[in-house]
Structure 1
Amino acid sequence: MQQLSDPVSELSGVGPSRQKALAGLGINTVADLLTYYPFRYDDLQVKDVNEIADQEKVTLKGTVAAEPVLSRFGRKKSRLNFRLLIDHDVYLVTFFNQPYLQKQIITGQSIAVYGKWDAKRSSLTGMKIINPNNAESAFGSIYPASKAVRQTTIQKLIKQAYAAYGDLIEDIVPAPLEAKYRLLPRRQMIHDMHFPPSKEASAAARRSATYEEFLLFQMQMQALKRADASTNGIAIHYDNQRLKAFIKTLPFELTHAQKRVVNEICLDLKAPQHMNRLLQGDVGSGKTIVAAIVMYAAITAGYQAALMAPTEILAEQHADNLAKVFAKTDVNVALLTGSTKPAARKPLLGALANGEIDLLIGTHALIQDDVQYANLGLVITDEQHRFGVNQRAAFRQKGGQPDALAMTATPIPRTLAITAYGEMDVSEIDELPAGRQPIQTTWVRSNQANNALHFVQQQVAAGAQAYVVTPLIEESETLDVKNAEALSENLQAYFGPSVKVGLLHGRLKADEKEAVMTAFKAGEIQVLVSTTVIEVGVDVKNATIMMIYNADRFGLAQLHQLRGRVGRGTQASFCILVADPKNQQGIERMQIMTETTNGFVLAQRDLELRGAGDVLGIKQSGMPEFKVGDPVADLTVLQVAQQDAHAIVQTPDWQTRPEYRALAENLEAKLAAVGTLD
């Protein structure tokens, strides 16, 4: 009996090699093939010559006025010319490198050609000959293809699959929602996605497919969230009086936003359900002190806390800062990284397993097999988007389902928070501490870089310190280092012996990096040339200038992160972008950086300019790749789908209701395929 889950090898023309090639496109079953949607359509409807714009792709229909002429030149290159009579005018049609079409072009016969119109020459560069009498050819579907699977192969297989299996397609979206939003039945939707008879039909199909895709995704998110909430977590009954006393010892008043998120997180700590929360805040908004407060809360209840950072520099900085924050308490803070010497590591692990260490800070070293915690209650990952799903899951296994708080200083627009972190609760610190001055950002072309360096020299002479960042020029650490080394040498020559120029890059050993950063913090180095290893978290209050070479090679979020390394104190700070953008998007990025210092605004613009995958890094973040829906352009649909999914899972025994049967089955299959996200 036929099923949509049948392998594509059931279709004629799909042998072992083609089956393997299709699998490379993510097509394993007939269902995969039927939902392998086109990314655009060629409008194959015949148009009037007088209505065509220059360089427009169009279909012209006429009579072949003369024998086609085939000319060959070079290796495997050819040009096929013929004249097409439309009404009373003759137009030249040219096909390049398609000599086999000569047999289809017969003098006196009617023909329709799809191609690009040249208004100046009144000629058409042909792309393909089409059959205008076929109703399904009004719009030509264009699919993502590969070297191993051609466009025409995908089109033929989809046509065959729909003919053989179309009757088996059932609605997944519940009938009440289908009626509410005037969505197409699924069988018609799939047909019109592949073979739209008109633009309107194509738009209606895409609208229906987008909602279905978002609803299925949001159902997965809701299922994961409910499973997480039903997991027996830890109810951390912290000592509220000790916590209040600790907050009073801080040398500054918390902002309203910090107070709000501390309350949100502390409520989660008390609850017996497992906490899975994302804390996001702009650069310098004070996330670390929030983390310190909630970690202290867990420690007052007798639990251990752990803080994992993506780099050793950031882990070491957290350890230094938190040791100072907890100096007047009895909290025992320890640091564990890949650079921890075996002689120090063994007693540290023993103290951790015995419960003598209250707070362990480190890198991925925190989740290695031999690291055992006595009573882990709270896990915090800093710069959340830099950790893969498996790393976060490994941390969860280190204790009896410890509460999890993820932090990021890369502001994530609401759009992505719904998609990438749909299974998490989100807290936002949306204000900066008092006294912070906005960073003045300037963009200069490379031919003005010397003027910028003169400004840097003046500021350094007045006692300031500066970062000078050079990007990865190619995907090569070696070239990156050479570039940074060359720049540091040039700057040392420019500034002269009175200014000490330091160098920091990823190839330095941990103790070498530490020595450079220590010297910079101490003011022994005035100008630090660095690759992007200083992007996240490094905190030197006297550093007031950030100069970024080839700034157009970075996304807005990364530029904002780099800019956030200055402006940590109360002095006026400056960011200088040196860039010669090659395109309009690059120019826009530079202009946006000079217009706003709001990370959330920048993140949204970055998303609009570059797309979700580039902003977060799809593989690292768990960000889904949608087939049809665009979480930016279709944000309203995404939000509606989230609300509907939430309402469905709140319905008692919804899986057993007939209107939700297909949805429940599909969700079960999806969850079985992907496992859990955390």
Structure 2
Amino acid sequence: MKSLQDPVAVLKGVGPKRAADLATLGIDTVEDLLTYYPNRYDDVTPADLENVQDRQRITTQGTVVSEPLLSHFGYRRSRLSFRLQVGPRVIMVTFFNQAYLAKRVALGQTVTVMGKWDAQRAQVTANKFLSAGDQEQADSGAVYSVNKHIRQATLRGLIKQAFDEYQNVIPTLLPASLRQHYRLLDRRTMIKALHFPENVGQAKAARRTAAYEEFFLFQLRLQAIRQARRHANGDRILYRNDELKEFIAGIGFELTGAQKRVVNEICRDLREPYQMNRLLQGDVGSGKTIVAAIAIYATITAGYQAALMAPTEILAAQHAEKLSRVFAGTHVHVGLLTGSLTAKQHRELTGAIKRGEINLIIGTHALIQDDVEYANLGLVITDEQHRFGVNQRQLLREKGAHPDVLAMTATPIPRTLALTAYGEMDVSVIDELPAGRKAIETRWLKVDQQSEALHFLRDQLATGAQAYIVSPLIEESEALDVQNATDLYNELVEYFQPHYQVGLLHGRMSAEEKEQAMHKFQRGEYQLLVSTTVIEVGVDNPNATVMLIYNADRFGLAQLHQLRGRVGRGDRQSYCLLLADPKTDDGKQRMKTMVETNDGFVVAQRDMELRGSGDVLGSKQSGMPEFKVGDPVGDLKMLQVARQDAADLLRTPHWDEQDDNQPLVLYLQRHQLETHFD
């Protein structure tokens, strides 16, 4: 019996070599092939040559009136030319590097060619050739994303063969009620109209159905994971409320309204009998660390251990130092576990963790090594969680029986997109900065205004402030004409010494060298720290009030915002200076956005509009899928509707017993093993 899960090798003309070639496009099954949708459609209507523009891409049809002339030049390069009569005109058609077409072109033959029109020479530089027998393909004009292994014509032929042979076993996944409500096509009609549309309107209707189906199925998987977790066993962390209130009262400052709201959401989760799976989003400086500290303290009052995993040793050490101060005088015992420990130190610390003597363990991926055993792990926190791979986060979770999970990120993601990328998680947002925090003033200067920036810097240093100076590269690069950190360091040493001391920090230094440079800056021995983006996370110096970024247009918006967040952490007015001469509109827009707003969520929204959601989130790490048809930015309203529809369906009593929903039940069963519980 035929099934869409049949391997593509069942199709005629697909042997082991071609199956391997198709796999490079992510096509392994017949369903993969049928859902490998075109990324655009060529306009295959023959153009009126009297009305087309020079350099315009056109389709034209005519009769071959000269023998094809094939000439070779260079290594495997060729030119094929012939004359084509189109109505009363005779034009020249030229194909480059498609020598095989010479055998298909014959005098008197009617052909269709597609390419770029050269009005002056009355010539089409063509890239697509269709003879009369190919006219069925010309009707669709479907263009697919291919690579060096698979040609367009090969892919089209296989899709046609697969549809002809398997169209009767294509199940419609969307329930009839949703299809009727939104006027969507059944799946077989949708797939046919996407690959072989009879007109533009049919293709648009099919793409609309495909986009909704993608969003709905993705959200259904996420909502099913979320629902399954809600019913999974978890430890109820019955913290001591009086102790927790006393700890919060002794912090020394009033929590913001947003922090209080988020703390309540987390504490409510801790007491529930299922595993917490919550994402804590907060802009740079919004106070996520103290929220995490409260969650840690609550967990420890209930007799459990807590673990905090950071992506770098610098950040892990900073967390350990800061939290040791926060928990001074309490029964929280902090241990820092990183790869820099000696064998003896590692052995002693892991022993104390196993015995439960250390109840807050902070570290890098060293936390998930095989020899690290926990006495009673109740809470797992990952900081900058998008920097960890799926497996790393899962391994840490598996170190305990059923630990609650809190993922923190200072990389703002528009809330609507966070609900998509992290749809199986509960999302908490700290959208309010602590009282008294002054907005960072951002200025964009052209590169020839460097001296103005350095004068400003000198004035700030004279008041006792410190500054970061960031360069995109460590060493000389012929590919990029940008200032590099080592040259910049030498230049600034000459400019500022002997009055001010300059330090250097970059990714190729050893962990010990980085730590030493950072500590000297924090202790005030360095007034300026020249750095690469190592300081994006990890360095916390309230006395630093200026961030000067060279070649700022080389950085993305999110990265610029993260860098800016290294200043403005004290009571003094802080500044971010962007030195850049962007050549592109996007580059100019990034600079303008930085000057206009300090709000990380506004920055993230602009970043997403400029770059697209996949690039912003990083599809592999964030869990954000690369949708085949749907655009999470352009189709945001549809995405939100699909999310609500999926949640509503799963909340319907006995939904999985209804006949109309059986294809969805099978779909979820098939994808359950493929879905990362992360």
TM range (shorter): over 0.9
C-alpha distance in structure 2 between counterparts of 1:655 and 1:635, whole Å: 28
Instruction: Give the equivalent residue in structure 1 for 2:299.
Output: 298
- Distance of 1:45 and 1:88 partners within structure 2: 18
Partner of 2:36: 36
Q: CA deviation at 1:66?
A: 4.6
CA gap 1:533/1:64 in 2 versus in 1, 3 angstroms:
same
SS in 1 for 2:141: strand
Q: Secondary structure at the match of 2:6?
A: coil
Letter of the 2:663 partner, please give it. A
Q: How does 1:120-269 map to 2 (within 5 A)?
A: 120-131=120-131, 134-269=135-270
**Paired residue for 1:555?**
556
Residues 46, 59 of structure 1: 8 Å contact kept: yes
Deviations 1:621-666 (A, max 9, x none): 2221212111111111211111111111112232221010011101
Deviation at 1:394, TM superposition (A): 1.0
Q: 1:275 corresponds to which residue?
A: 276
Three-state SS of the structure 2 residue aligned to 1:129 is strand
Q: Secondary structure at the match of 2:42?
A: strand
Amino acid at match of 1:192: A
The separation in 2 between residues aligned to 1:145 and 1:207, in whole angstroms, is 23
CA contact (8 A) 1:62 1:85 kept: yes
Alignment correspondent of 1:359: 360
- Mapped to 2, the partners of 1:128 and 1:426 lie a distance apart of 49
Contact persistence 2:110–2:131 (CA under 8 A): no
Task: Find out whether 1:437 has 2:420 as its counterpart.
Answer: no
Where does residue 501 of structure 1 map in the other structure?
502
Aligned 1:430-579 pairs, distance under 5 A = 430-472=431-473, 483-579=484-580
Letter in 2 for 1:442: R
Q: CA deviation at 1:609?
A: 1.5
**How far 1:453 moved relative to its partner?**
2.0
CA distance in 2, matches of 1:448, 1:480: 17
* C-alpha contact (below 8 Å) 2:306/2:379 kept by paired residues: yes
Q: Deviations over 1:387-421 (max 9, x none)?
A: 11111111111112111100000001124312221
Range 99-108 or range 18-27, more displaced: 99-108
* Residue 15 of structure 1: aligned partner: 15
> Could you report, residue by residue, the CA deviation over 1:54-92 in whole angstroms, capped at 9, with x for unpaired residues?
332221223445555445444444434444433333433
Q: Is the 8 A contact 1:45 1:139 kept in 2?
A: no
1:189 alignment partner AA: M
* Aligned-partner SS, 1:401: coil
Q: How does 1:54-69 map to 2 (within 5 A)?
A: 54-69=54-69
CA deviation string 1:29-57 (max 9, x = no partner)? 11111111111111111122244333322
Return the offset for 1:579: 2.5
- 1:212-231 Cα shifts (integer Å, max 9, x gaps): 11111111101111121111
Residue type at the aligned position of 2:41: Y
Residue 386 of structure 1 and its aligned partner are, at CA, apart by 0.8
Equivalent residue number for residue 327 of structure 1: 328
Q: Residue 43 of structure 1: SS of its match in structure 2?
A: coil
- 8 Å CA contact 1:556, 1:602 repeated in 2: yes
Once residues 58 and 50 of structure 1 are traced to their aligned partners in structure 2, the CA distance between those partners, rounded to angstroms, is 12
SS in 2 for 1:441: strand
Superposition pairs of residues 279-428 of structure 1, within 5 angstroms: 279-428=280-429
In 2, the alpha carbon distance for the partners of 1:273 and 1:367 equals 23
Kept in 2: contact 1:131–1:137 (CA 8 A): no
Q: Secondary structure at the match of 2:129?
A: strand
Per-residue deviation, residues 545-571 of structure 1 (Å, max 9, x unmatched)? 111222222211111101100011121
Structural RMSD (CA): 2.2
The answer to whether the 8 Å contact 2:475/2:486 transfers is: no
Distance 1:593 1:502 in 2: 26
- Matched residue, 1:598: 599
Deviations 1:309-363 (A, max 9, x none): 1111111111111111112423222211111233333232222222222211111
Letter in 1 for 2:299: A
1:459 is paired with a residue whose SS is helix
Separation (CA, whole Å) in 1 of partners of 2:163 and 2:15: 19
Q: What is the CA distance between 1:376 and its match in structure 2? A: 1.4
Q: Deviations over 1:4-47 (max 9, x none)?
A: 22111111111111111111211111111111111111111112
Contact 1:505 1:533 in 2 (8 A): yes
How much does 1:286 deviate?
0.5
Give the counterpart letter for 2:58 in structure 1. V
Flag the 1:251–1:54 CA change in 2: closer, same or farther, 3 A.
farther
C-alpha distance in 2 between matches for 1:78 and 1:481: 40
Deviates most, 554-563 or 459-468: 459-468
Helix, strand or coil for the counterpart of 1:642? Answer: helix
Kept after mapping to 1: 8 A contact 2:244/2:294: yes
Q: How many angstroms does 1:177 deviate by?
A: 1.0
Q: Is the 8 A contact 2:173 2:187 kept in 1?
A: yes
Task: Find the aligned partners of 1:482 and 1:113 in 2 and give their Cα distance.
Answer: 49
Separation (CA, whole Å) in 2 of partners of 1:97 and 1:402:
60
Alignment CA distance shift 1:360-1:598 (3 Å): same
Percent identical pairs in the alignment equals 60
* Distance verdict in 2 for CA 1:242–1:150, change over 3 Å: same
Offset at residue 261 of structure 1 (A): 0.5
Alignment check: 8 A CA contact 2:536 2:566 kept: yes
Post-superposition offset of 1:107: 4.6
CA deviation after TM superposition for structure 1 residue 606, in Å: 1.2
Q: Give the drift of 1:121.
A: 4.5
Distance 2:121 2:16 in 1: 48
Q: For 2:617 and 2:635, how far apart are their aligned partners in 1?
A: 18
Structure 2 length-normalised TM: 0.95
Report the Cα distance in structure 2 between the residues aligned to 1:113 and 1:676, rounded to whole angstroms: 47
C-alpha contact (below 8 Å) 2:419/2:427 kept by paired residues: no
Kindly indicate whether the alpha-carbon contact (under 8 Å) linking 1:548 and 1:577 is maintained by their aligned counterparts in 2: yes
CA positional deviation for 1:436: 1.3
* Structure 1 pair 343–99 and aligned structure 2 pair: CA distance change class (3 A): closer
Letter in 1 for 2:27: I
The answer (yes or no) to whether the contact 2:191–2:206 under 8 Å persists in 1 is yes
Cα distance in 1 between the residues matched to 2:510 and 2:111: 70
Gaps of 5+ in 2: none
Instruction: Name the CA distance, whole Å, in 2 between partners of 1:92 and 1:242.
Output: 87
- How many matched pairs? 675
- How many Å separate the matches in 1 of 2:501 and 2:108? 83
- State the alpha-carbon separation in 2 of the partners of residues 581 and 482 from structure 1: 15
Worse-superposed segment, 192-201 or 436-445: 436-445
Distance 1:568 1:640 in 2: 40
Q: Helix, strand or coil: the match of 1:138? A: helix
Q: Per the alignment, in what secondary structure is the counterpart of residue 302 of structure 1?
A: coil
Q: Which residue of 2 aligns with 1:114?
A: 114
* Aligned counterpart, 1:669: 670
Q: Which residue of 2 aligns with 1:642?
A: 643
